[in-house]
Amino acid sequence: MSRAHNSSGPPRPSEELDGRRAAILDAVVAEYVETAQPVGSATVARSAGVGVSPATVRAEMVALEREGYLTQPHTSAGRIPTDLGYRFFVDHLAEPGVLGPTQRSQVARFFNHVRGEMEEVLERTSALLAELTSHASVVVGPSHDAARIVSAQVVRLASKVGLVVTVLDDGAVEKATVELDDDLADETLSVASAALAERFVGRELREVRAEEPLGLDPRAASIVTRSLEAVASIAARREPEHVFIGGSSRIASSFDAVETVRSVLATLEQQLVVVHLLNDVLDSGLSVAIGGEHGYEPLASCAVIVAPIAVEGAPSGVVGILGPTRMNYPEAMAAAEVVSSKLSRRFAAVRHGDPEDQVEPRRG
Amino acid sequence: MSRAHNSSGPPRPSEELDGRRAAILDAVVAEYVETAQPVGSATVARSAGVGVSPATVRAEMVALEREGYLTQPHTSAGRIPTDLGYRFFVDHLAEPGVLGPTQRSQVARFFNHVRGEMEEVLERTSALLAELTSHASVVVGPSHDAARIVSAQVVRLASKVGLVVTVLDDGAVEKATVELDDDLADETLSVASAALAERFVGRELREVRAEEPLGLDPRAASIVTRSLEAVASIAARREPEHVFIGGSSRIASSFDAVETVRSVLATLEQQLVVVHLLNDVLDSGLSVAIGGEHGYEPLASCAVIVAPIAVEGAPSGVVGILGPTRMNYPEAMAAAEVVSSKLSRRFAAVRHGDPEDQVEPRRG
DNA sequence: CTTGGCACTCCACTCTACCGAGTGCCAACT
DNA sequence: AGTTGGCACTCGGTAGAGTGGAGTGCCAAG
């Protein structure tokens, strides 16, 4: 599991932190995540893993502040972690983080019970992630452009309107309307449909190019051309295929400045931005971007956790968690990890032709 | 244009308001909507349409308060409208409300330019509505169960997974996975697909029933049965077909209590609830539900404006605006009205076989 | 190097006073 | 009779002063 970060690099101190400072930083992060209050030296000294007096802690905290890991909201208040502090915390997590038993069984139940089309699974997965973590979640479905076309046809919807329908081997269905000539015979349409199928089936979506079909009734040919164009433009539009955002109301619980809430929500509404964000952050494996690290201004007070969905090694989408920088990283990372890997296995199973879910052995 | 409300009836005063009181109420509503501050008698007296002194206004306000149209947040503060006050205001609007020229041209431009599938149009419409009104918007697409099936087929996705794809004459495509027997021949699948098409095409989606096909290879028959079941269950699930929620970040600007924001957003997340709400509120024509009138607790501080999308008289979806009770009703109602009627015409045009948009004559 | 002691800082909270917007009431006016 | 200006009153919001306490930085002793 790699924990990449794409920060363009706030000046990192040359020396890594020694064990005691790290322990103190950990304690501050843990406490601050829980209480949302600046943490004082006494509290830190009391916490496990730090066997020194408050005075010593204070001295170390001064150092940690000088090196950029902590800040004081004001003199004579406790410390809170900076983005860099969280970064260190995340990079040096001892255990990979683990879900509570309740959450674990929640995940297991979910993946045992969920049925239906991929879109529905993804949508409900985003709700699951939000529920698990109490943060907003984003799930991006696999891109279709490497998918093979298993069916293509043109059907008539109205006298002058046709619909090109292509079915992809990942279970997605793409469609596009095409204009039909005014008095087009049904037979011509069938011919066109057949010609379309012949050209499409077995190809990958991205291979589809607008081309001039040969050896056809010119009216059918014209339909085929238009259909090719329409499908090619579907394949070309780089818009994310399916983006599901869950638990956006949790944003309101995470910040008490209503303006922050508004701007984060507004950013989430722009799905394209969110997808770019996720792809920027995603390095390989589980990735975390904290505060300013992802360069998206309105999300400066947010952290993003991203995990790829990988089917047979190929990246096939992304799950993400978006919460305040003050979030429970180990738990959120564990949730992203678990959900993404379950989803990956699920999709792989479908690909291999097993429509039934794998039943998880229940233990405990 | 009817402005129904489904309130279960807070005790309405027996007498309607005379002209002066109505004018005062209007002034309070207008002022409060603009400033969000309790409105005093002096401000009201100054406003146009009320030609009396503050003292008189005060006397009338006492009456309006007694009758339930106004409240005081506390003694010696100005008045703010109650839900009933807004209700009266809405029910007695002189003009139907009109959009500003900017907004009007925005709508015109939108409907001249927007292209693509119905889903995309609906989604972008919800964004438009949000933009127009600065409130959250909801757009619900037409229900498919009266739509006719124009194409049906089964295709193979993987060795043991098939996909039933049905195309409806409103341009929607429904799909469902079916399990295939392990070594099913392609020919058998084709037979099943053809049999499916024969049974489906021309029917309405809601007519589809699981039935035992006769005179078929038993393996093909089994697929047909499963496919019928799958499609029937699609038709049966009463989940809303397509719900698009736009501008939910606007909620954050509408309320300053972060808890209100959270609960409203949480309600919006439950699309089913929202759809029920809209259907409950929708009477016929443009409808408004203010505060407690719709019985949804978490939305008690919200007003909902709903307008049907009607294609050839048949209800084909709904557009809605959800904002704080303190909203600009005339403007929001005008927006809902205009957008719903444009959408209606648009869909009617598509039905009639004209895939091109009607170009609006530009005036001014 | 660590630690307890200690003076200091500064936020958060409370209390008080006060200003002013807005009211209700009343007597005078049309 | 209805309307109006006058007036005393109410009460929320704000500003200022005082206070308590959490937390700090520093220092000298261990």
CB count in 10 Å sphere of residue A51: 9
Question: Which residue in chain B is spatially nearest to A157 when comparing CA positions?
Answer: B169
pLDDT at position A171 is: 86
Under 8 Å between Cβ of B165 and A165: yes
Rounded to whole angstroms, how far apart are CA atoms A130 and A137? Answer: 5
Q: Put residue A312 in one of left, alpha, beta given phi > 0 → left and psi -120 to 50 → alpha.
A: left
Cβ of B19 < 7 Å from strand D?
A: no
Cβ of A76 < 7 Å from strand D?
A: yes
Structure letter (DSSP) for residue B79: B
Residues of chain A found within 8 Å of residue B236, distances taken between Cβ atoms? none
CA of A74 and C1' of D15: distance in angstroms?
23
CA of B208 and C1' of D19: distance in angstroms?
78
CB count in 10 Å sphere of residue B301: 18
Q: Of the candidates B333, B322, B342, which has an alpha carbon nearest to the alpha carbon of residue B110?
A: B342
Residues of chain B found within 8 Å of residue A156, distances taken between Cβ atoms? 150
Cβ of A78 < 7 Å from strand D?
A: yes
Rounded to whole angstroms, how far apart are CA atoms B7 and B10? Answer: 7
Rounded to whole angstroms, how far apart are CA atoms A361 and A111? Answer: 12
Under 8 Å between Cβ of B321 and B305: yes
CB-count exposure of residue A293 (10 Å: 0-12, 13-18, 19+): buried
Taking the CA atoms of residue B251, residue B254, residue B259 and residue B263 in that order, the dihedral angle to the nearest 10 degrees is -40
pLDDT at position B354 is: 58
Q: State how far Cα B40 lies from the chain centre.
A: 36
Please check the confidence at residue B68 and state whether its pLDDT lies above 80: yes
Residue A120 near chain B (CB below 8 Å): no
CB count in 10 Å sphere of residue A226: 20
Domains and CATH numbers, chain B: 19-91 (1.10.10.10), 101-143+240-351 (3.30.450.40), 149-236 (3.30.390.10)
pLDDT at position A251 is: 97
Q: Give the DSSP H or E segment for B200.
A: helix B186-200
- Inter-chain contact A169–B153, Cβ cutoff 8 Å? no
Q: State how far Cα B210 lies from the chain centre.
A: 33
Under 8 Å between Cβ of B227 and B191: no
CB-count exposure of residue B356 (10 Å: 0-12, 13-18, 19+): exposed
Rounded to whole angstroms, how far apart are CA atoms B264 and A253? Answer: 12
Residue of least CA–C1' distance to C4? A55
Residue A355 near chain B (CB below 8 Å): yes
Least confident of A186-200, A255-269, B234-248, B332-346: B234-248
Amino acid at B121: V
CB count in 10 Å sphere of residue A186: 8
Query: How far away is chain B from the Cα of A21, in angstroms, using its nearest Cα?
Result: 37
What SS3 state is found at A78? coil
Say which of B161, B170, B252 has its CB closest to residue A262: B252
Under 8 Å between Cβ of A18 and A98: no
Query: How far away is chain B from the Cα of A145, in angstroms, using its nearest Cα?
Result: 16
pLDDT at position B9 is: 38
Say which of A151, A156, A256 has its CB closest to residue B153: A151
Query: How far away is chain B from the Cα of A73, in angstroms, using its nearest Cα?
Result: 23
Strand pairing class (B173-179; B70-71): unpaired
CB count in 10 Å sphere of residue A185: 12
Confidence bin at B104 (pLDDT 50/70/90): very high
Residue B237 near chain A (CB below 8 Å): no
Listed as ranges, the nucleotides of chain D within 7 A of a protein C-beta are 3-6, 9-12, 21-27
Rounded to whole angstroms, how far apart are CA atoms B179 and B156? Answer: 10
Under 8 Å between Cβ of B82 and B65: no
Q: Cα Rg for chain B, rounded, in angstroms? A: 26
B128-187 residues touching A, CB cutoff 8 A: 150-151, 153, 155-161, 163, 165, 167, 169-171, 173, 175-179
Residues of chain B found within 8 Å of residue A134, distances taken between Cβ atoms? none
Under 8 Å between Cβ of A149 and A167: yes
pLDDT string in tens for chain A (364-residue length):
444 444 433 444 445 778 899 999 999 999 999 999 999 999 999 998 888 999 999 999 999 999 999 999 999 899 999 999 999 999 998 777 789 999 999 999 999 998 878 888 999 999 999 999 999 999 999 887 778 899 999 999 888 889 999 999 888 898 888 888 888 888 999 999 999 998 889 888 888 877 777 778 888 888 999 998 888 887 777 566 789 999 999 999 999 899 999 999 999 999 999 999 999 999 888 999 999 999 999 999 999 999 999 988 888 899 999 999 999 999 999 999 999 999 999 888 776 655 544 444 444 3
Residue A201 near chain B (CB below 8 Å): no
B217 versus A162: the higher-pLDDT residue is: A162
Rounded to whole angstroms, how far apart are CA atoms A73 and B346? Answer: 56
Please check the confidence at residue B322 and state whether its pLDDT lies above 70: yes
What SS3 state is found at B165? strand
Which nucleotide lies nearest residue B54, CA to C1'? D4
CB-count exposure of residue B245 (10 Å: 0-12, 13-18, 19+): buried
Q: In what order do the strands lie in the sheet with B173-179?
A: B149-158, B161-168, B173-179
E strands present in A272-343: 287-290, 302-311, 314-324
What SS3 state is found at B160? coil
Tokens of B148: 């006719």
